[in-house]
Amino acid sequence: MNIHEYQAKELFKKYNVPTLRGHIAFTPDEAVKAAQELGGNIWVVKAQIHAGGRGLGGGVKLAKSTSEVREMAAQILGMQLVTHQTGPEGKLVQKVYIEEGADIKKEYYLGLLLDRALKMPIMMASTEGGMAIEEVAHNTPEKIIKVSIDPLTGFQSFHGRKLAFGLGLPVEEINTFIKFASALYKVYMDHDAEMIEINPLVKTGDGKFLALDAKMGFDNNALYRQSQVNEMRDLSEEEPTEIEAGKFGLSYIKLDGDVGCMVNGAGLAMGTMDTINYEGGKPANFLDVGGSASAETVAKGFEIILKDPNVKAIFVNIFGGIVRCDRVANGIIEATKITNVNVPVIVRLDGTNAIEAAEILNNAGIANIVAATDLADGARKAVAAAKGE
Amino acid sequence: MSILVNKDTKVIVQGFTGKEGTFHAEQCIAYGTKIVGGVTPGKGGQEHLGQPVFNTVEEAVRATGATVSMIFVPPAFVSDAVMEAADAGISLAVIITEGAPVKDMMFAKAYAVKKDMMTIGPNCPGIITADECKIGIMPGFIFKKGNIGLISKSGTLTYESANQVVKEGFGITTAVGIGGDPIIGLSYKQLLPMFEADPETHAIVMIGEIGGDLEIQAAAYIKEHITKPVVAFIAGQTAPAGKRMGHAGAIISGGAGTAAEKMAALEAAGVKVVVSPADIGKAIAEVMGKLKK
């Protein structure tokens, strides 16, 4: 789960990670009011969406008067902001963050994330603030300094020193930086974050460090104990069908092809998409129905897949392990009674009781259900059906 | 021969008397696994599935001599259970539980390393040595005995691959489902040398997926150290960037962790990489030098 910049900064403030003052606004009027409350003569109007690259897309603007604040807020609010992370359709901006201006002397990058191989958090810093860290890693990897932090002992001053000296900070600024980094580590651990990115981290004219931007993502498995983070969840930033699927224990992601798929297990679900692609088709979705594949979940799966008007055929690929294929076959038949399935359904059931399952499906005599013998056969038939062959 | 577990391996179950623990322990016993007892705090002294129940892992180990623990406790209590096993001298914990917080696993794994305990999982189907010992939730009948070792991040793809291998006339030595979470225990790099050293294993199937770089590390290791043929499939070639594909760890972030880069690295290491998971069995037949027409 991700949160907005202004929400991440709220968490930062509680842990004394320095940020600028700012207010959230849903209308141009509120934006002006926010600017007046902040005072000063320069403000930044920032679109709040769950995607990076907002500045380049025209979602972050500098205002030098309250009338400019109004003008820019009016421009940004309601726009479909397109960045390299939103896809071509962009994301609707529903709120802007009005922030006071800052005296920026230098920009850096600071991030915290999990190193899966080391099984511990790593903190990364770079002098190349404001640039996409992936690009820096690719073009000038020597400009990224990394420290791994043993969770059993936590963040130590030497971690901070290594980063600070690596960034070439003067000695008198080292302790300020260590304090900042140490507080940030605490934010990360205390909230079950999976990633924090501050890009840019800025140094001001008076030698202070500030999080000018803030991006945070969280471990979904830990949300049950993070009530504060949970309250920050913005459902309007998520796909409605994915939310709906989640309520039924289904894991669904919409894609742009025309062959719907329903599979048990995440790995096999991805593998099924890949097989459809290999056979010359395009998957319309990722859908893991989980272990049980009962009539109810299968019916819900059909319903969710068919909400996508592009779907021309559905490939049901179930490898029955503990779950018996005959029960799944009955589930599919039941499901077609609950949900009106008006496209060809190619069914491949393998594993426990697969032979009985094939019989059940054949005997049911449902016109648009086609049996497949294995993964490749199923994918081929589904691709052909989607093409109207 | 096999790796890690065999017919003599003594196994206890943490979360023994729960619904999941009971169902799967029963299946394991039916398969032939030596389940010698279980742990459910507060139910010590009782008997369950014909085996003793203990309050603590320490007591269970002392009384039964178990070396492996199969863990079924709920997500919020997994790290505690793993650490208890490590503390009690268990040498391998197989963590089946799905949905454990990453931070908890980070601490549990750090402690396990300190106590010299190996772990498999979490969020995995477990480990099976064909016809000898099943520790996990996989359907045992698919895994006919043979000479192919199998390592996979995905449960159902493990079954799919084993099934294809068997249909081609081969079989499995040991299959390990290593799990698809961001933090997992034994991975390719630790398991590959075990299969390399196992005289009964003649070839290895490796199933990976998008996210992280364990497969890239495996490729580097294979290039240097593995002489047996390896067949690999990487799931998620068609997955969009930035989206989590079911498994908590299956996400392409910042352009890294793609299937394409993993496939290229494995191919460069001499691995036979299949584009379609439907070709795993055929690829094994090919590398085993007896492709059936």
Highest mean pLDDT among A316-325, B79-88, B207-216: B79-88
Pair (B85, B143) in one structural domain: no
The catalytic residue among B24, B48, B202, B247 is: B247
Pair (A160, A264) in one structural domain: no
- Rounded to whole angstroms, how far apart are CA atoms A107 and B149? 51
Counting runs of H as helices and runs of E as strands, what totals does chain A give? Answer: 13, 19
- Rounded to whole angstroms, how far apart are CA atoms B273 and B258? 15
Pair (A11, A151) in one structural domain: yes
Instruction: Tell me the two tokens of residue A127.
Output: 């002098």
A379/B110 CB distance under 8 A: no
Q: How many domains does chain B have?
A: 2
Average pLDDT over residues B110-123: 96
Assigned domain for B132 exists:
no
pLDDT score of B292: 46
Q: Which residue of B has its CA nearest to A189?
A: B103
Q: Which residue type is seen at B212?
A: G
Give the pLDDT band (50/70/90) at residue B273.
very high
- Rounded to whole angstroms, how far apart are CA atoms A5 and A48? 7
- A238 to each of A221, A243, B18, how far by Cα in Å? 17, 7, 35
A270 has pLDDT over 90: yes
Q: Are B201 and B175 in contact (CB under 8 A)?
A: no
β-partners of residue A319 are A350
- Rounded to whole angstroms, how far apart are CA atoms B131 and B139? 12
A225 has pLDDT over 60: yes
Average pLDDT over residues A274-293: 90
Pair (A84, A153) in one structural domain: no
Pair (A345, A371) in one structural domain: yes
A116/B240 CB distance under 8 A: no
pLDDT tens-digit series, residues A334-364: 888 888 888 999 999 998 888 888 889 888 8
Contacts of B163-169 with C-beta under 8 Å, sequence gap 24+, read B163/A319, B163/A350, B163/A351, B163/B281, B164/B278, B164/B280, B164/B281, B164/B282, B164/B284, B165/B205, B165/B280, B165/B281, B165/B284, B166/B142, B167/B281, B168/B281, B168/B282, B168/B284, B168/B285, B168/B292, B169/B285, B169/B290, B169/B292
Say what the ipTM of the complex is. 0.88
Higher pLDDT, A103 or A339: A103
B252 has pLDDT over 80: no
pLDDT score of B255: 62
β-partners of residue B187 are none
All residues of chain A having their beta carbon less than 8 Å from the beta carbon of residue B111 are 152
Q: Are B154 and A265 in contact (CB under 8 A)?
A: yes
Give the closest-approach CA distance of A28 to chain B in angstroms: 32
Pair (A38, A170) in one structural domain: no
Assigned domain for B199 exists:
yes
Secondary structure letter of residue B139 according to DSSP? -
Which percentage of chain B shows pLDDT scores above 90?
A: 88
Question: Is this structure's pTM higher than 0.80?
Answer: yes
pLDDT score of B293: 42
Instruction: Tell me the two tokens of residue A267.
Output: 């790995």
Mean per-residue pLDDT over chain B, rounded:
93
Average pLDDT over residues B145-171: 95
Q: Which residue of A has its CA nearest to B76?
A: A222
Burial class from Cβ neighbours inside 10 Å (0-12, 13-18, 19+) for residue B77 reads: middle
User: Which residues form the domain of A56?
Assistant: 21-101
pLDDT tens-digit series, residues A187-203: 999 999 999 999 999 99
pLDDT score of A228: 96
Among candidate residues B77, B94, B120, the one where a domain is terminated:
B120
Give the pLDDT band (50/70/90) at residue B189.
very high
Q: How many residues belong to chain A?
A: 389
Pair (B262, B170) in one structural domain: yes
pLDDT tens-digit series, residues A120-154: 999 999 999 988 787 888 888 889 999 999 999 99
User: Which residues form the domain of B58?
Assistant: 10-120
- A176 to each of A32, A141, A207, A307, B188, how far by Cα in Å? 34, 26, 9, 53, 42
Q: What are phi and psi of B44, to 5 degrees?
A: -55, 140
Instruction: Tell me the two tokens of residue B145.
Output: 């005995």
Give the pLDDT band (50/70/90) at residue B21.
very high
Instruction: Tell me the two tokens of residue A271.
Output: 């593998």
pLDDT score of A291: 66
* Window from A11-15, A233-237, B157-161, B256-260 with minimum mean pLDDT: B256-260
Assigned domain for B2 exists:
no
Q: Which residue of A has its CA nearest to B154?
A: A267
β-partners of residue A98 are A23, A45
A330 has pLDDT over 60: yes
Cβ neighbours around A362 below 10 Å, total: 12
Among candidate residues B65, B93, B120, the one where a domain is terminated:
B120
All residues of chain A having their beta carbon less than 8 Å from the beta carbon of residue B246 are 251, 265-267, 269-270, 286, 288
All residues of chain A having their beta carbon less than 8 Å from the beta carbon of residue B86 are none
Average pLDDT over residues A62-80: 96
In chain A, alpha helices (H): 5-14, 28-38, 66-76, 133-139, 157-166, 171-190, 227-231, 240-247, 266-278, 295-306, 325-338, 354-364, 375-386
Would residue A265 be called left, alpha or beta, if left means φ above 0 and alpha means ψ between -120 and 50 degrees?
A: left
Pair (B144, B279) in one structural domain: yes
B163/A375 CB distance under 8 A: no
Pair (B107, B207) in one structural domain: no
Q: Are A287 and A250 in contact (CB under 8 A)?
A: yes
pLDDT score of B48: 97
Average pLDDT over residues B262-276: 96
Assigned domain for B292 exists:
no
pLDDT score of B291: 42
Average pLDDT over residues A317-323: 82
Average pLDDT over residues B94-122: 96
pLDDT tens-digit series, residues A7-55: 999 999 999 999 999 999 999 999 999 999 999 999 999 999 998 888 8
Among candidate residues A193, A208, A238, the one where a domain is terminated:
A238
Name the residues of A annotated as catalytic: 109, 197
All residues of chain B having their beta carbon less than 8 Å from the beta carbon of residue A275 are 276-278
- Rounded to whole angstroms, how far apart are CA atoms A63 and A291? 54
A265/B157 CB distance under 8 A: yes
Q: Which CATH number does the domain housing residue A94 bear?
A: 3.30.1490.20
A384 has pLDDT over 70: yes
Assigned domain for B257 exists:
yes
Among candidate residues A101, A126, A153, the one where a domain is terminated:
A101
Instruction: Tell me the two tokens of residue A90.
Output: 């962009």
Is B247 an annotated catalytic residue?
Answer: yes
Secondary structure letter of residue B210 according to DSSP? S
Pairing of strands A251-254, A193-204: unpaired
Among candidate residues A207, A238, A269, the one where a domain is terminated:
A238
- Rounded to whole angstroms, how far apart are CA atoms A120 and A189? 11
pLDDT score of A138: 80
* Window from A201-205, A243-247, B73-77, B240-244 with minimum mean pLDDT: B240-244
Pair (B100, B198) in one structural domain: no
pLDDT score of B242: 73
Q: Are A157 and A123 in contact (CB under 8 A)?
A: no
A219/B209 CB distance under 8 A: no
Q: Which residue of A has its CA nearest to B217?
A: A117
Among B142, B144, B160, B188, pick the best mutation site for testing chain A contact (most A Cβ within 10 A): B160
Pair (B167, B211) in one structural domain: yes
The structure tokens 């719907």 sit at A260
- Rounded to whole angstroms, how far apart are CA atoms B250 and A267? 9
B250/A192 CB distance under 8 A: no
A301 has pLDDT over 70: yes
Pair (A26, A130) in one structural domain: no
The structure tokens 């009530």 sit at A227
Q: Which CATH number does the domain housing residue A3 bear?
A: 3.30.470.20
